[in-house]
């Protein structure tokens, strides 16, 4: 199965980088919004809470178009049946999840230094900041992978994705923003319980998705 997952990942990466649609949109959004927010703030150092809200808004919307795209593209380009015939559902899910994880972490790795540089938002608790970005990214990628699979079978995919992702994304973004705020404030003593929450949340979502994916995919 590992070999099959590797084949899937290789295929997804080749298709993505030859199309460059999701990557281009994501990086364009990340770059433009970071610079726009920096210019709009006029060099004034914003409150840590506002900085972390803006930071996660930029990361979230930079990645979302690409994350939902992995499954939706299979339906739009009419390759979903080809994929269903030549793969077992579990390997499709694992490979799409890995692709989304790598993609979103890559987005976060690009956005974070840009944001720190343009917004002068230097994390005081650097390890805490890095762990928050890493586990927040994993949580968002795991939620959007399964939601992308669900909405890919429906009409009005964009609207549906926004509506059904809201209740699942809200706790992740909330915790991630609180953690980022704590890592930016000099006087704060950030705890690791909330990072554990992000990790546990991802674990629950990935486990439930793995078990239910076969029924979603073959519907």
Tokens linked to 107 = 């987005």
In the bound state with other proteins, the residue whose beta carbon lies nearer, of 44 and 218, is: 218
Which of 90, 94, 30 is closest to 66 using CA atoms?
30
Whole-number Å distance between alpha carbons of 195 and 129 = 10
Size of the site for other proteins (CB under 8 A): 20
In the bound state with other proteins, the residue whose beta carbon lies nearer, of 118 and 210, is: 210
Binding residue for other proteins, selected from 2, 42, 44, 85, defined by CB under 8 A:
85
Kindly indicate which of the ranges 81-89, 119-127, 156-164, 177-185 contains the residues binding other proteins, using the contact rule CB under 8 A: 81-89
Tokens linked to 5 = 């997952």
Whole-number Å distance between alpha carbons of 10 and 170 = 32
Residue 216 engages other proteins in binding (rule: CB under 8 A)? no
In the bound state with other proteins, the residue whose beta carbon lies nearer, of 78 and 189, is: 78
Binding residue for other proteins, selected from 28, 35, 61, 82, defined by CB under 8 A:
82
Q: x/- contact string, 61-80, with other proteins (CB under 8 A)? A: ----------------xxx-
* Rg, Å, the chain Cα set: 18
Question: Least distance in Å: CB of 149 to other proteins?
Answer: 15
In the bound state with other proteins, the residue whose beta carbon lies nearer, of 79 and 207, is: 79
Residue 7 engages other proteins in binding (rule: CB under 8 A)? yes
How many residues in the chain?
219
Residues 11 to 30: which contact other proteins by CB under 8 A?
11, 14-15, 18-19
| Residues in CB range of 88: below 8 A, 6 or more apart | 4
Cβ-contact 150, 216 below 8 angstroms: yes
Question: What sections of the chain are H helices per DSSP?
Answer: 2-19, 21-41, 48-76, 80-86, 89-119, 126-152, 157-184, 193-217
CA triple 100-105-107, angle to 5 deg: 95
Residues 88 to 147: which contact other proteins by CB under 8 A?
88-89
In the bound state with other proteins, the residue whose beta carbon lies nearer, of 91 and 118, is: 91
Contact set with other proteins (CB under 8 A)? 7-8, 11, 14-15, 18-19, 77-79, 81-82, 84-89, 214, 218
């Amino acid at each position: 199965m590992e070999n099959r997952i590797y084949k899937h990942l290789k295929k997804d990466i080749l298709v993505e980088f030859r199309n460059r649609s999701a990557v281009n949109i994501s990086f364009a959004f990340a770059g433009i919004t970071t610079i726009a927010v920096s210019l709009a703030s006029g060099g004034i150092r914003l409150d840590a809470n506002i900085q972390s809200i803006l930071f996660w808004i930029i990361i979230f919307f930079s990645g979302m178009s690409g994350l939902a795209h992995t499954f939706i593209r299979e339906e739009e380009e009419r390759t979903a049946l080809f994929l269903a015939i030549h793969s077992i559902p579990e390997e499709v899910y694992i490979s799409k999840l890995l692709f989304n994880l790598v993609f979103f972490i890559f987005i976060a790795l690009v956005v974070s230094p840009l944001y720190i540089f343009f917004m002068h938002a230097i994390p005081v608790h650097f390890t805490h900041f890095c762990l928050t970005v890493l586990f927040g990214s994993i949580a968002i990628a795991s939620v959007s992978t399964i939601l992308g699979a669900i909405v890919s079978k429906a009409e009005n995919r964009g609207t549906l994705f926004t509506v059904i992702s809201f209740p699942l994304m809200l706790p992740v973004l909330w915790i991630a923003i609180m953690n980022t705020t704590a890592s930016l404030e000099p006087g704060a003593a950030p705890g690791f319980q909330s990072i554990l929450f992000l990790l546990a949340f991802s674990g629950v979502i990935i486990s439930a998705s793995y078990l239910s994916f076969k029924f979603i995919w073959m519907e």
